[in-house]
Amino acid sequence: MTKGKVKAIIENLVQVEVSGPVSQNEICYIEFQGVKLMAEVIKVLGNIAYTQVFESTRGLRPGSPVEFTDKMLEVKLGPGMLSKNYDGLQNDLNKMKGLFLTRGEYTDPLDEDSSWEFTPLAKAGDKVSAGDWLGSVPESWIEHKIMVPFGLEGDYTVKEVSAKGSYKISDTIAILSDKEGNDIKINMVQYWPVKIPIKCYIQKPRPFKLLETGVRTIDTLNPMVEGGTGFIPGPFGAGKTVLQHSIAKNADADMIIMAACGERANEVVELFVEFPELDDPRTGRKLMERTIIVCNTSNMPVAAREASVYTAMTIAEYYRNMGLKVFLLADSTSRWAQALREMSNRMEELPGPDAFPMDLPAIVSSFYARAGFVYLKGGSTGSITFIGTVSPAGGNLKEPVTEATKKAARCFYALSQTRADSKRYPAVDPIDSYSKYLEYPEVIDYLNENVNPNWVNDVTQTKDILHRGREAQEQINILGDDGVPLSYHDRYWKSELLDRIILQQDGFDEVDQSTPMKRQEYMLELILGICNQDYVYESFEEVMPFYIKLINICKQMNYVLFDSEDFKKYEAELHKEVEQRSAK
């Protein structure tokens, strides 16, 4: 095992003089005052290894001994991860003592003493390979699959599988034989490096299935698909975190992984406090029961901040291989990019725009590419849908992190400060935002087949009305109410009707906080029907009161159960108002 000693220290970048071979991304431990500080090799030049330390380096001095492990940064995978709060190194935060994190304290992410009810899925004589299911244990409400370790190459024969019963995660539950007849004992635990994707699947096609989030401005206008990628940029106070939480609560996913990679400590604390109290509309239990939180606050070392997103993604890939729909939310990837910038600057690399690394777009793209929809062995499917938030300085959507993420993510949900200031929530700008999945032929076919035969055309028409409405509003603001034709007022208020009824949503109302796709389709058809009619006005002063009346009726429809008596009563009232004003 290679050893070394500290040569130089620049904040969290520590140069180590080594006495033997070391590799990129290898983990080492620096001895300091009786504790060991974990670090990762990020660059090797001759006999000098550049390492980023995951802890504070305050007080560390040159000459301190360093020991290399010959392993990469890895996570421990197995039953018992659901409902846990981890840091970026997968330390169980609930096991740590005291109010503040202690330097050099590392905890086991799994409970070695807990017993799990194992049910075998494979039998003696079966041919298996990496990622195949050997058995399952119930974890909360999901069936946690015990798999052939991802690191095993080639085919193996199942020699023996334990009978149904209660076992600890370290107990042997299967024995595999390789081609040479060597036996390999398998338990419920496996390890995997966080920066290497888990690829134990048959095929990874382009995603095509709609993933319902319950948020109308997303599902209707710019849909996310199962296994898709998207990001939410926006200035401070525009509602990025709230929108993410709403999606997490209502999305059609089996489990949620929240990666808080560098958010302020108070926001992370709110996450810990609020999530255990949220009711899960899918299961009727607590949302935390199908959630894993991986967090590093902004005042933690930059290396730990960078590790958190990779740790979260690796855990998501592990559960995807069980045939689950995983929703991964990262808040905020800007802090992750800033951590990359800090380390790049300390290594004196050639800076790119705004001093970010030159290869930032490649790093972001390779990370987003780990999400996706996959076909597994045995005919099952699994998916990771990834949505990250970006916090551009001053709301500047032209800065490098936003631009790099735009190239990688397929969905762009731009939060508008103007919409947030006018209390139009969710504050997703309908003009600037987009979903490139609407250009995929397989997604178009899926939507037209499963939602409405004319759905994609309806969405296109909706965007056109909103765009023309904004143009009309700008003309009215410039020329005045009486300086434009009546048609401009009508066009603007039709876009307002769509905006206030379809795009705006009350996250605190029991009914309106989440809208099923069937109801979204019905309401969009209803509103488009109103927008496609011509109306008679004596003057522009009659336009606003008419549409305000329609908006108020439709708002009431949004707050009552779909297809209920009250819903039908408001709908009849709506049709009556429309008929009275319609051109004969």
Strand arrangement, sheet containing 174-177: 127-128, 156-161, 174-177, 183-186
- Read off the DSSP letter of residue 93: G
How many other CB atoms are there within 10 angstroms of residue 177's CB atom? 14
Q: What's the count of helices (H) and strands (E) in the chain, helices before strands?
A: 14, 25
How confident is the model at residue 378, as a pLDDT?
84
3-state helix, strand and coil shares in percent for the chain, rounded to the nearest 5? 35, 25, 40
How confident is the model at residue 270, as a pLDDT?
75
Q: Please say whether the beta carbons of 558 and 511 come within 8 A.
A: yes
For the record, the structure tokens of 390 come out as: 């970006």
Helix (H) or strand (E) holding 240: helix 240-250
CA angle 569, 571, 574 (to 5 degrees): 115
How confident is the model at residue 79, as a pLDDT?
97
Which residue is listed with tokens 């990129």?
24
How confident is the model at residue 396, as a pLDDT?
83
At residue 535, φ and ψ (nearest 5 deg) are -130, 155
For the record, the structure tokens of 563 come out as: 């297809």
Look at residues 145, 138, 78 and name the one whose alpha carbon lies nearest to residue 108: 78
For the record, the structure tokens of 147 come out as: 């798999």
Query: Which alpha helices (DSSP H) does 121-264 contain, by range?
Result: 216, 240-250
Cβ density class 314-352: b for 16+ within 10 Å, e for less:
bbbbbbbbbbbbbbbbbbbbbbbbbbbbbbbbbbeeeeb
Which residue is listed with tokens 């970010």?
356
How confident is the model at residue 242, as a pLDDT?
82
Residue 487's Cβ-side half-sphere holds a number of Cα atoms within 13 Å equal to 5
The SS3 assignment for 519 reads helix
Strand locations in 277-360, DSSP E? Answer: 291-297, 325-330
How confident is the model at residue 394, as a pLDDT?
76
Q: Please say whether the beta carbons of 147 and 134 come within 8 A.
A: yes
Look at residues 79, 62, 59 and name the one whose alpha carbon lies nearest to residue 14: 62
- Read off the DSSP letter of residue 52: E
For the record, the structure tokens of 566 come out as: 């009250």
Cβ density class 85-123: b for 16+ within 10 Å, e for less:
bbbbbbbbeeebeeeebebbebeebbbeeeebebebbbe
Look at residues 281, 225, 118, 233 and name the one whose alpha carbon lies nearest to residue 445: 225
The SS3 assignment for 461 reads helix
- Distance CA(213)–CA(223), nearest Å, equals 9
The SS3 assignment for 186 reads strand
For the record, the structure tokens of 440 come out as: 């995929």
Q: Compute CA 356 distance to the chain's CA centroid, rounded to the nearest angstrom.
A: 23
Mean pLDDT by 10 residues, the chain (584 residues): 94 94 95 93 94 92 96 96 92 84 89 95 95 95 94 95 96 94 95 96 95 96 97 86 84 92 75 78 80 85 87 97 96 89 90 93 96 94 95 85 95 93 94 96 96 96 97 96 94 97 93 95 97 93 96 97 96 95 74
Amino acid identity of residue 148, one-letter, is V
User: Which domains occur in the chain, in start order?
Assistant: 3-72 (2.40.10.170), 111-188 (2.40.50.100), 216-434 (3.40.50.300), 455-581 (1.10.1140.10)
* Sign of the dihedral through C-alpha 413, 415, 418, 423: positive
